[in-house]
A and B are shown apart, each in its own frame.
Chain A
Amino acid sequence: MNQMQEYEKLSFEEAMIELESVVSKLDAGEGTLDESITLFQKGVLLSKLCSSRLEEIEKRVRILTDDGLGTKKEMPFNEESITSGEKE
């Protein structure tokens, strides 16, 4: 599916804007029934994409720490990591 591959690149907001535009076009009711059905299918793809974009974000809170060589490293962030950071 070419359309899906194309949509895969869209960010949440792009996909949302596209979805709204598809819905508006379909709402306008112009074009042939085939075109309307194509729009509907596009809309369903976009809707799924939007929802999946919301779930894609990984629940994380991380803090950058210096490894002493000037390179930053990501560490899980919690109270403990701060106190240990302070001790160093």
Chain B
Amino acid sequence: MSAVFSVSDLNHYVGEVLAADPVLAAVRVQGEISGFKKYPSGHMYFSLKDKESQVNCVAFRGNAAHFSFVPENGMSVIITARASLYDRDGRFQLVVYLMEKDGIGDLFVAFEKLKARLEEEGIFDTAHKLAIPTLPRRIGVVTSPKGAVIQDIIHVLSRRFPNFDLLIYPSAVQGQTAAAELRKGVEWFNGTDLVDVIIVARGGGSIEDLWCFNDEALAKTIYHSHIPVISAVGHETDFTICDFASDLRVPTPSAAAEGVMPIKSELLSGINAQTDRLTRSLLHCVAIRRNRLMMLSRSKALLSPLRRVESESQRLDMLTLRLTHSLNRRVDSSARRIDKDIASLDALSPLKVLSRGYSLATNPLTGACITSVSHVSPGQPVQIQLADGLIHCKAEKIQAGRIL
């Protein structure tokens, strides 16, 4: 263990020790920036210090380019870094990966407080949210006219609905004046009748960049907007007060364009589908009726009037027949009675009596009927009438008294 190190070996060794330490591999350090220098290479060199101490820091271009703000001397920051030893002059330093502004914690607290308060005031009430129109005749967008956001929106809109109508209200989307400008944009559209829907948009950025969207007055303006407002701020993971107050929150500006404009070809096929259904339905209606007509024309229901006539005429026949029978019967019975009467008349006729063997005696002188022996004296002529002629006789002897 009495080996003697060269300086280089020592520095190298210390460097390895530092690199192997799990805490120092990714350490978060809070401090104030001083001696800040940015080299043309893009690397940043500065010290981080507190009241008693300081430490050298380097941020290489690859990491420095992703910082969400430009570090400045005096700025209070939290860095995430690994410890290393700069071999050449044996200097301990931190290689910085990430840098956040300190005080973010305060921002979060402020955000949560504002959110809770506005929520209580009902600014985020779902019941108050307006429906996004299916087909906005004109779309208003409040955003920066520079940069990718508006281009993305235009690109997506033209893909979905080639003849879209977009009106841009240019506004700052970060910095001191942004919240007020955004609010004026929403208010301006509300003062006109130009657009059916408003998109408030901004691309991704740091929490400070997006801070203007956590503005109470902007939230209330959006809440009171009578035009539906779509909030498209930052990336998927960014939530702002503006998002909560809006009628629809979408994760990105491109998503706003998708959410606001339907795909024209889909609408057209929707209309065509309905029109086809319309035609089919009518044809179906006609077909059903035609079938029904055919069924009816064969059915008893339709034949029934005729059948009724038939049955009535049959009844008429029956009645006529009965009437005739009855008449005939009456005529017959009358005829029979007349015959009988005639017969009885016949039976009573003297001629008929004579034909049965009786005869009628009369006095040929007077023509009177001899109904008593006292009417005749012996020797007196008597005329006897039979059915087929007369007998002229002379009374020989008179005998009184009943014989038969």
Contact A63 B282 (CB under 8 A): no
The reply on A33 being an interface residue by CB < 8 A is: yes
The distance in angstroms between the C-alpha atoms of A42 and B267, with both chains bound, is 19
**Chain A contacts of B333 at CB under 8 A?**
none
The reply on A1 being an interface residue by CB < 8 A is: no
Contact B281 A13 (CB under 8 A): no
Contact B165 A58 (CB under 8 A): yes
**Chain A contacts of B235 at CB under 8 A?**
none
Query: Using an 8 Å CB-CB cutoff, how does the interface string of A58-82 with B read, 1 for contact, 0 for none?
Result: 1111111100000010100100001
Q: Return the chain B residue nearest A61 by Cβ.
A: B166
Cβ < 8 Å to A, chain B residues 23-49: none
Count of chain A to chain B residue pairs whose CB atoms are closer than 8 Å in the complex? 110
Among B163, B271, B279, the residue within 8 A (CB) of A59 is B163
Most buried by A among B138, B145, B169: B145
The reply on B134 being an interface residue by CB < 8 A is: yes
The distance in angstroms between the C-alpha atoms of A40 and B285, with both chains bound, is 10
Instruction: State whether A58 and B274 are in contact (beta carbons under 8 Å apart), knowing that A23-B281, A26-B282 are contacts in the complex.
Output: no
The reply on A8 being an interface residue by CB < 8 A is: no
Contact A40 B170 (CB under 8 A): no
The reply on A7 being an interface residue by CB < 8 A is: no
Contact A62 B281 (CB under 8 A): no
Interface residue tally on A, bucketed by range: 35 or more
Contact B167 A53 (CB under 8 A): no
Query: Using an 8 Å CB-CB cutoff, how does the interface string of A10-33 with B read, 1 for contact, 0 for none?
Result: 011100100110110011010001
B387 to chain A, nearest CB (A): 94
Contact B163 A63 (CB under 8 A): no
**Chain A contacts of B264 at CB under 8 A?**
54
The reply on B137 being an interface residue by CB < 8 A is: yes
Contact A33 B281 (CB under 8 A): no
Contact B286 A57 (CB under 8 A): no
Cβ < 8 Å to A, chain B residues 112-161: 133-135, 137-138, 145-146, 154, 161
The reply on B278 being an interface residue by CB < 8 A is: yes
Q: Which residues of A contact B (CB under 8 A)?
A: 11-13, 16, 19-20, 22-23, 26-27, 29, 33, 36-37, 39-40, 43-44, 47, 50-51, 53-65, 72, 74, 77, 82, 85-86
Beyond A27-B277, A47-B271, A54-B271, 12 additional pairs, beta carbon < 8 A: A12-B267, A19-B271, A36-B286, A51-B271, A58-B165, A60-B165, A61-B168, A63-B145, A64-B170, A64-B188, A77-B166, A85-B145
* 27 contacts across the A-B interface (CB closer than 8 A): A11-B133, A12-B267, A16-B134, A26-B282, A27-B284, A29-B281, A29-B285, A29-B288, A33-B289, A36-B286, A44-B275, A47-B278, A50-B271, A51-B271, A53-B135, A54-B264, A54-B267, A54-B271, A57-B165, A59-B162, A60-B167, A61-B166, A63-B167, A64-B188, A72-B188, A77-B168, A86-B146
